[in-house]
């Protein structure tokens, strides 16, 4: 039998450190095996990491996101890339997270260093397919990411 996996400050500190050291500014800690039917993970995130707008089209790919530590800006988009809603997801704040139904374009902006996100969705893992990447936003590593990310972040300036 496997041992319990605690979601505690020790995990958070390790994820934050690994995310700070990672070229992409984020690091995952999986609580699941890749073939498991339910994927559960904690993600350490640092400001500057780019999470390109995307959606999940499979009917079984609803996604729950919860801020365990820190602050994230959530953006929801329509098919043309117009922002339809924004929320600050904040640990201990007014809105802790979101449950996204399949088909909704979404992205996140990290608003605070050492942010920790909990994500849950159906497994097994599969890379984004055709039609799941936002055609109006740059993909990670493409030209224009810095400008697009700055535009997304403007939605959360105080």
Q: Which domains does the chain show, CATH number per domain?
A: 9-124+143-154 (2.60.120.10)
In the numeric block, the tokens 């050492």 are attached to 114
**Among 28, 21, 10, 25, CA closest to 119:** 28
Number of Cα atoms under 13 Å in the Cβ half of residue 103: 2
Residue 107, strand partner residues: 75
91-to-2, 27, 111, 128 alpha-carbon distances in Å: 28, 18, 12, 28
pLDDT digit of tens for each residue in the chain (158 aa)?
A: 578 999 999 999 999 999 999 999 999 999 999 888 999 999 999 999 999 999 999 999 999 999 999 999 999 999 999 999 999 999 999 999 999 999 999 999 999 999 999 999 998 888 898 899 999 999 999 999 999 999 999 999 87
| pTM listed for this prediction | 0.94
């Amino acid at each position: 039998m496997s041992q319990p996996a605690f979601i505690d400050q020790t995990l958070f500190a390790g994820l934050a450190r690994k995310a700070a050291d990672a070229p992409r500014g984020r690091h995952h800690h999986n609580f699941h095996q890749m073939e498991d039917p339910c994927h559960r993970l904690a993600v350490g995130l640092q400001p500057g990491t780019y999470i390109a707008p995307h959606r999940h089209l499979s009917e079984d790919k609803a996604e729950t996101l919860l801020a365990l530590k820190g602050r994230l800006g959530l953006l929801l988009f329509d098919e043309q890339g117009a922002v339809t809603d924004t929320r600050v997801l904040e640990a201990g704040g007014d809105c802790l997270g979101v449950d996204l139904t399949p088909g909704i374009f979404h992205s996140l902006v990290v608003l605070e260093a050492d942010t920790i996100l909990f994500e849950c969705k159906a497994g097994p893992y599969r890379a984004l397919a055709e039609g799941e990447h936002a055609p109006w936003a740059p993909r990670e590593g493409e030209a224009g990411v810095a400008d697009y990310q700055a535009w997304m972040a403007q939605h959360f300036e105080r």
